[in-house]
Amino acid sequence: MSSASPPGPDLDLSPRPGAAPIPAMLRHQAQMELRLLSRNGEQVLLTLVIPLVLLVLGARADQIVDLGEGRPIDIVTPGILALAVLSTSFTSLAIATGFERRYGVLKRLGASPLPRWGLLVGKVAAIVVVEILQLTVLSGVGLALGWEPSGGFVAVLQMLGLVVLGTAAFGALGLLIAGTLRAEATLAVANLVYVLLLVGGGLIVPLDRYPAASRHLLELLPSGALGQGLRDTFAGAGPQPFCVVVLILWAVCCGLAVSRTFTWED
Amino acid sequence: MRVTQPAVEIVDLVMRYGDTTAVDTLSLDVAPGTVTSILGPNGAGKTTTIETCEGFRSPHSGSVRVLGLDPVSDAKRLRPRVGVMLQSGGAWSGSRAHEMLRHIASLHAHPLDVDLLIERLGMQAYGRTPYRRLSGGQQQRLNLAMAVVGRPELLFLDEPTAGLDPQARRATWELIDELRGHGITTVLTTHFMDEAETLSDQVHIVDSGQVIASGTVAELAVSGAEDTIRFTTTPCLDVGALMTALPHDTKVTEPAAGSYVVTGHVTPALVASVTAWLAEHDLLTGTMHVRRQTLEDRFLDLTGRTLR
* B79 → closest Cβ in A14, A24, A112: A112
More confident of the two residues A9 and B119:
B119
Between A212-219 and A222-234, two packed helices, what is the crossing angle to 10 degrees? 90
* A107 → closest Cβ in B56, B81, B116: B56
* A20 → closest Cβ in B93, B95, B107: B107
Query: Mind listing the pLDDT tens digit of every residue in chain B (308 residues)?
Result: 456 789 999 999 999 998 899 999 999 999 999 999 999 888 899 999 999 999 999 999 999 999 999 999 999 999 999 999 999 889 999 999 999 999 999 999 999 999 999 999 999 999 999 999 999 999 999 999 999 999 999 999 999 998 888 888 999 999 999 999 999 999 999 988 888 888 999 999 999 899 988 998 878 876 555 678 889 999 988 999 999 989 888 889 888 888 998 988 888 888 999 999 999 999 998 888 887 777 777 777 777 756 55
Mean pLDDT on A173-189: 96
Asked if the Cβ–Cβ distance from B90 to A13 is below 8 Å, we say no
Pick the residue from chain B with its C-alpha nearest to A103. B89
- Mutate one of A1, A27, A112 to test the B interface: name it (highest B CB count within 10 A): A112
* A17 → closest Cβ in B88, B103, B152: B152
Q: Is it the case that residue A72 has pLDDT exceeding 50?
A: yes
* B94 → closest Cβ in A40, A108, A113: A40
Size of interface A-B (CB pairs under 8 A): 126
Q: Is it the case that residue A59 has pLDDT exceeding 60?
A: yes
Predicted confidence at residue A115, as pLDDT, reads 92
Asked if the Cβ–Cβ distance from B92 to A6 is below 8 Å, we say no
Asked if the Cβ–Cβ distance from A15 to B82 is below 8 Å, we say no
CB A98 within 8 A of CB A187: yes
**Sheet harboring B251-256: ordered strands across?**
B251-256, B259-264, B227-232, B288-291
Output the average pLDDT for chain A: 91
Distance from CA of B12 to the nearest CA of A (A): 24
Mean pLDDT on A175-203: 94
Predicted confidence at residue A9, as pLDDT, reads 59
Asked if the Cβ–Cβ distance from B103 to A32 is below 8 Å, we say yes
Q: Is it the case that residue A201 has pLDDT exceeding 70?
A: yes
Q: Taking the alpha carbons of A44, A46, A47, A50 in that order, is the dihedral positive or negative?
A: positive
Asked if the Cβ–Cβ distance from B150 to A113 is below 8 Å, we say yes
Q: Which of B305, B300, B306, B291 lies closest to B212, judged by CA?
A: B300
Q: Considering the domain B8-222, what is its CATH architecture?
A: 3-Layer(aba) Sandwich (3.40)
C-beta neighbour count of A209 within 10 angstroms: 13
User: Would you list the domain boundaries of chain A?
Assistant: 23-261
CB B114 within 8 A of CB B73: no
Chain B residues in contact with A6 by the CB 8 A cut-off are: 171, 174, 178
* B119 → closest Cβ in A9, A17, A102: A9
Q: What percent of chain A is predicted at pLDDT more than 70?
A: 94
Chain A residues in contact with B110 by the CB 8 A cut-off are: 16-18
Q: pTM higher than 0.95 for the full model?
A: no
Distance from CA of B232 to the nearest CA of A (A): 43
Chain A residues in contact with B113 by the CB 8 A cut-off are: 11-12
Q: How far apart are CA A27 and CA A72, in angstroms?
A: 41
Q: Taking the alpha carbons of A229, A98, A114, A173 in that order, is the dihedral positive or negative?
A: positive
CATH no. for B227-292: 3.30.70
Q: Is it the case that residue A8 has pLDDT exceeding 80?
A: no
Q: Is it the case that residue A264 has pLDDT exceeding 70?
A: yes
Distance from CA of B227 to the nearest CA of A (A): 34
**Distance of CA A237 to CAs A167, A210, B1, Å?**
22, 21, 76
Chain A residues in contact with B92 by the CB 8 A cut-off are: 32, 36, 100, 103, 105
Predicted confidence at residue A1, as pLDDT, reads 41
Predicted confidence at residue B308, as pLDDT, reads 54
Q: Is it the case that residue A211 has pLDDT exceeding 50?
A: yes
Distance from CA of B165 to the nearest CA of A (A): 18
The DSSP code for B262 is E
Predicted confidence at residue B248, as pLDDT, reads 83
Q: For the stretch B158-181, what's the b/e string if a residue is b when 16 or more beta carbons lie within 10 angstroms of its beta carbon? A: bbbbbebeeebbebbbbbbeebbe
ipTM for the predicted complex comes to 0.89
Predicted confidence at residue A4, as pLDDT, reads 47
Predicted confidence at residue B39, as pLDDT, reads 92
Phi and psi for A250 in degrees, rounded to 5?
Answer: -60, -45
Pick the residue from chain A with its C-alpha nearest to B156. A111
